[in-house]
Amino acid sequence: MTNSDLERVTVRPTDEYNQKLVSYVHPPNWVNPQPADVYDLVVIGAGTAGLVVAAGAAGLDLGLKVALIEKHLMGGDCLNVGCVPSKTIIRSARVVGEIWDAKDLGVNIPQHNIDVDFPKVMARMRRIRADISPNDSAERFQKLGVDVFLGSGRFASKNTVEVGGKTLRFKKAVIATGARAAQLSIPGIEKAGYLTNETVFSLIQRPERLAVIGGGPIGCELAQAFRRLGSEVVLFHSGSHLLNKEDAEAAEILQKVLIREGIRVVLNSKLEEVVTVTEGKRLYFSSNSHRDSVTVDEILVGAGRSPNVENLNLEAVGVEYDKHQGVKVNDYLQTTNPKIYAAGDICMNWKFTHAADAAARIVIKNTLFSPFGIGRSKLSSLVMPWVTYTDPEIAHVGMYEHEAQKLGIEVTTIKIPFSSVDRAIADGEESGFLKIHHKKGSDEIIGATIVSSHAGEMISEVTTAMVNKLGLSKLSSVIHPYPTQAEAIKKAADAYRRTLLTSNTKKLLGFLTKLS
């Protein structure tokens, strides 16, 4: 492939920051290398899962031949249209939320005169994204010893992949092509036009009126962020409450916050049609048998993901897939072709960057260091936390109570409201809570939910305990600095310890005091 054969990629707006981004993650002057005779691993897709597999295998310094193929931007969704840009603008939006709450903290700031410089917020996001991009760059991976091929990869035979007119032979291959925003079958929406996570971060002017479709994590995060940055927001959700897969009490707290902040939340909604009118884009919808319409400047779709299985020629290598669920894998992340594995959004229900990272590590072990299948790692063995980055955040790990009940596991739930945690009271953040589910009659933790401005930072302590089989008794012995909101975890552990004070143990303790 010559320079002229390489498909150029443009990220809008084409300012200095996005040009810097592209220069790292899809350099226009890139020349694909001459393929090795045979690769130990060929990885298709340079999002989180693909990058971790490629870097992990090449970085072992074992002389492994690794090829990495990417048709668009290295770094995938996380760097370009996901975690990095969204959390950057959420940080700006959180400042506005703090200003709104300032009066309760004794700081009087005129609420009607908050000057949000939206173009500057977005420029800051683009600068930060560009500054982080060298970590995922083609040049960095080349220096790690990975052969980086820019272009569309597709399987050509049972042991070859074609990209840019070159043929790559492999011993093992990994599919890590990710997923994209799902298309919605709403009449008129394609003609009217809409934003997704792949295009919303290209905005340079704030939409004065924004409709967000989808009350899951992405929809809630961006609805709150844009509302705080000055947009009038209406949030449509087909369920009876937002985040309907989340703990119901946690979701209710967030729902009340969003409504209090001025977001119009339309539940049990069915979008019937989108029509372009002089005033903007008009959405006709029904909710609880009531028909209505709303006119907005932009529509943001944040409902569902579709796996990128097209144009891979998976049939040629016997890899089964579903257009909605993605590539089919077993618990070892092996496809129906034993020489081909998959990781990340293309095959997993956990569509998180950290989940893709963890799965990629499983793939490295199972493809390269498990001869005859000995010592393979399982996806099901992972203890997976996740966070919805609203304000307050909602973090969860392990099972929900209803999931445990379906499996016949009797659970006891300890709930610590943050209204009983001194630091949360001092911070004015009493509305959240910590819930820890443990097996009945045991201190084994099987799940937890935290609602707090710092929930994402706090959940890792519970995750660490679960991974290392540390029960509530052990957590009770951990000294937590006072005052911190993480003290709620110790309070939960202490609450469990108090349940062990039966009448018999009290008698024993009383006897011991007499001997002491």
Last residue of a domain, one of 334, 352, 380: 380
- Let me know whether 469 and 366 are in one domain: no
- Whether residue 408 is annotated as binding a ligand: the answer is no
> Phi and psi for 27 in degrees, rounded to 5?
-60, 130
The answer to the question of residue 99 being in a domain is no
- Let me know whether 317 and 373 are in one domain: yes
Is the bond into 481 cis (omega within 30 degrees of 0)?
A: no
Cα–Cα distance measured from residue 314 to residue 340, given in angstroms and rounded to the nearest whole number: 10
What the block records as the tokens of 5 is 């054969």
- Whether residue 220 is annotated as binding a ligand: the answer is yes
The answer to the question of residue 272 being in a domain is yes
CA distances from 117 to 85, 111, 124, 135, 262 (A): 17, 16, 11, 29, 20
334 pairs with which residues across the strands? Answer: 341
- Let me know whether 204 and 223 are in one domain: yes
Last residue of a domain, one of 245, 272, 303: 303
H runs (alpha helix) in 331-421: 353-368, 401-406
What the block records as the tokens of 424 is 């949360």
Contacts 24+ apart (CB under 8 A), 310-315: 311/152, 311/154, 312/44, 312/153, 312/154, 312/155, 312/175, 312/177, 313/154, 313/155, 313/156, 314/155, 314/175
The answer to the question of residue 256 being in a domain is yes
- Let me know whether 22 and 56 are in one domain: yes
Select from 476, 493, 437, 485 the least CA-distant residue to 457.
485
One-letter amino acid of 143: K
What the block records as the tokens of 323 is 């257009």
- Beta strands at 298-301 and 209-213: parallel, antiparallel or unpaired: parallel
Give the Cβ contact number of residue 31 at 10 Å: 13
The answer to the question of residue 159 being in a domain is yes
- Whether residue 487 is annotated as binding a ligand: the answer is no
The answer to the question of residue 512 being in a domain is no
Task: List the CATH number of the domain containing 43.
Answer: 3.50.50.60
- Let me know whether 272 and 336 are in one domain: no
The answer to the question of residue 113 being in a domain is no
- Let me know whether 227 and 187 are in one domain: yes
> What's the length of the chain?
516
Select from 138, 148, 160, 162 the least CA-distant residue to 311.
162
- Let me know whether 147 and 167 are in one domain: yes
- Let me know whether 166 and 188 are in one domain: no
- Let me know whether 373 and 458 are in one domain: no
- Let me know whether 416 and 478 are in one domain: yes
413 pairs with which residues across the strands? Answer: 437
Select from 74, 70, 65 the least CA-distant residue to 41.
65
The answer to the question of residue 94 being in a domain is no
Last residue of a domain, one of 380, 406, 432: 380
- Let me know whether 403 and 481 are in one domain: yes
- Whether residue 87 is annotated as binding a ligand: the answer is yes
Count of domains for the chain: 3
Q: Does residue 205 contact residue 119 with C-beta atoms inside 8 Å?
A: yes
- Whether residue 214 is annotated as binding a ligand: the answer is yes
- Whether residue 218 is annotated as binding a ligand: the answer is yes
Task: List the CATH number of the domain containing 465.
Answer: 3.30.390.30
Tens-digit pLDDT string for the chain (516 aa): 444 456 789 999 999 999 999 999 999 999 999 999 999 999 999 999 999 999 999 999 999 999 999 999 999 999 999 999 999 999 999 999 999 999 999 999 988 789 999 999 999 999 999 999 999 999 999 999 999 999 999 999 999 999 999 999 999 999 999 999 999 999 999 999 999 999 999 999 999 999 999 999 999 999 999 999 999 999 999 999 999 999 999 999 999 999 999 999 999 999 999 999 999 999 999 999 999 999 999 999 998 899 999 999 999 999 999 999 999 999 999 999 999 999 999 999 999 999 999 999 999 999 999 999 999 999 999 999 999 999 999 999 999 999 999 999 999 999 999 999 999 999 999 999 999 999 999 999 999 999 999 999 999 999 999 999 999 999 999 999 999 999 999 999 999 999 998 778 777 778 888 888
The answer to the question of residue 252 being in a domain is yes
- DSSP tag of 195: B
- Let me know whether 214 and 287 are in one domain: yes
Radius of gyration of the chain (CA): 25
- Whether residue 221 is annotated as binding a ligand: the answer is yes
- Whether residue 216 is annotated as binding a ligand: the answer is yes
- Whether residue 469 is annotated as binding a ligand: the answer is no
What the block records as the tokens of 501 is 């004070």
> Whole domain around residue 233: which residue ranges?
183-303
- Whether residue 318 is annotated as binding a ligand: the answer is no
What the block records as the tokens of 408 is 């016949």
Cα–Cα distance measured from residue 253 to residue 380, given in angstroms and rounded to the nearest whole number: 31
